[in-house]
Amino acid sequence: MSISGPLEVFRQLYRNLRSQKLRTFLTTFGIVWGTVAVSLLLAFGQGLHKSMIQSAAGLGDRIVIAWPARTSLPWEGIGKGRRLLMTEDDIGAIKQQALGLAGISSEYAKSFKVHNGNKTMMVDVSGVSPVFGTMRNLIPQEGGRFFDPLDMSDRRRVAFIGDAFAKDFLGEPNPVGKTFMLADSPFLVVGVLKPKEQDSSYSGRDKDKMFIPSTTFRAITGEKTMDDFIYKAGTPEGNKALTLDIRGILAKRLHFDPKDDQALMVWDTTDMFAFMDAFMLGFQLFLGIVGSLTLVVGGIGVSNIMNVVVEERTREIGIKMALGAKRGYVLRQFLLETMTLTGIGGALGLLLSAGICAVFPKFGLTEYVGVPLVSPSVAALTAGVLGFVGLLAGYFPARDAANLDPVIAMKL
């Protein structure tokens, strides 16, 4: 068999690793430690990002909330400081004229006393449209629903209530089908909010609130003008253009300057998501760099050990080259040894990281840092860094070994 045959390279690799067990263990451990550092930092960074997005989406997935306010600029002979009053006719005009509109709902808000037997409580009630539930991520628990267009058209006395309010007021976590009194009228619970994370709001947390059809709200209160309205474009990037379009439509109908950004106060939650994405990208890059530096330290250890290996096997290399081994054979042998150790250490490191991520939720800390996950992207990035470090760590010792003069090497 030729000395340069591929099987001989693997046999030599096996003999070398077996004869130097302590060295092999220390080298592999350095790579394992570095791999765990990279993958875990990236996994926790992804988990935190996902948790932040989920909490922010508790308010609604990239929606825009708008409040009719007071004009700050005079317009067409009308002085500033005039309060804007919006009705359902204005919402109808927006539906007909606005381009790129995916959904819109008015919102009427008021606090009511509610009665359940001898128990009386105050609760914030919002009168909204069916699409409001989808835009605001008001997902019902099993067996319940959000109200529908038929509830709206018939002005039914139905309510969708928050999960915390359900427990406090009705004493049950999911009291679908129960009735209570609101404004001297019996209301039927048709749905209870599925518990969700929500780190921001504009009128209180959804878990403590009640939602009823806006037609029913107006019927029992006589209210004609809304407190606010929410909307969203077909894509998050379209929200800004849609906002300008809506402002222009309302400016014509309500007679105010389209450039008056104080007349219609707007909160575009897309900006919040964009900020979080940019911040977490920078944060994960920082974590990746810190972890990669740890892996580089492990790679330096591998390179030092391979230099020692070359010195110890200088005579052996000289004999092989004298017997016909080519420079490429020697180079491949040492590179293969380095990459094998790096690959084994990397695989063990990724398995260890995956195990840590699997048991981490049992410690009850996911509320603060999210659920870490060694995703395919994390694994791929770690493998890429690992391969680069391993190749760099093995190439220079392998090059030195391949450049040895056989005559001089056999004398050492």
Distance CA 152, CA 215 (A): 6
- Domain identity same for 192 and 240: yes
Question: How far, in whole angstroms, is CA 336 from its chain's centroid?
Answer: 39
| pLDDT for the residue 6 | 54
Last residue of a domain, one of 216, 242, 269: 269
- Domain identity same for 99 and 170: yes
Taking the whole predicted model, whether its pTM rises above 0.75 is answered as no
- Domain identity same for 297 and 280: yes
Residue 372 lies in a domain: yes
The answer to whether the beta carbons of residues 108 and 217 sit under 8 Å apart is yes
Distance CA 249, CA 241 (A): 13
Structure tokens at 90: 């204005």
| Count of Cβ atoms closer than 10 Å to residue 277 Cβ | 13
3-state secondary structure of 64: strand
- Domain identity same for 111 and 201: yes
Residue 285 lies in a domain: yes
Structure tokens at 10: 């693997």
User: Amino acid identity of 12?
Assistant: Q
- Domain identity same for 42 and 84: no
- Cα torsion for 99, 104, 108, 111, to the nearest 10°? -140
The answer to whether the beta carbons of residues 211 and 189 sit under 8 Å apart is no
Q: Digits of tens for pLDDT over the chain (412 positions)?
A: 344 455 665 676 666 666 667 777 777 787 888 788 888 888 888 888 888 887 777 888 899 999 999 999 999 888 899 999 999 999 999 999 999 999 999 999 999 999 998 899 999 999 999 999 999 999 999 999 999 999 999 999 999 999 999 999 998 888 999 999 998 899 999 999 999 988 888 888 999 999 999 999 999 999 999 999 999 999 989 999 999 999 999 999 999 999 999 999 999 999 888 888 888 888 888 887 887 777 777 777 777 777 777 777 777 767 777 766 677 777 777 777 777 778 888 888 888 888 888 888 888 777 667 788 777 777 777 777 777 877 777 777 777 776 766 656 565 5
- Domain identity same for 227 and 295: no
Residue 1 lies in a domain: no
Q: Per DSSP, what are the bridge partners of residue 128?
A: 107, 213
Kindly report the CA angle at 208 between 179 and 169, in degrees rounded to 5? 40
Last residue of a domain, one of 241, 269, 297: 269
- Domain identity same for 112 and 259: yes
Q: Per DSSP, what are the bridge partners of residue 186?
A: 181
Parent domain of 347:
6-56+274-411
Residue 286 lies in a domain: yes
CA nearest to 235, candidates 270, 200, 272: 270
- Domain identity same for 233 and 365: no
- Domain identity same for 112 and 162: yes
CA nearest to 166, candidates 193, 187, 134: 193
| pLDDT for the residue 4 | 46
Residue 279 lies in a domain: yes
Distance CA 239, CA 246 (A): 10
- Domain identity same for 265 and 293: no
The answer to whether the beta carbons of residues 372 and 43 sit under 8 Å apart is yes
User: Amino acid identity of 83?
Assistant: R
| Count of Cβ atoms closer than 10 Å to residue 19 Cβ | 9
Residue 229 lies in a domain: yes
Residue 214 lies in a domain: yes
| pLDDT for the residue 301 | 73
Distance CA 235, CA 371 (A): 28
- Domain identity same for 256 and 388: no
Domain count, the chain: 2
Last residue of a domain, one of 207, 240, 269: 269
- Domain identity same for 265 and 280: no
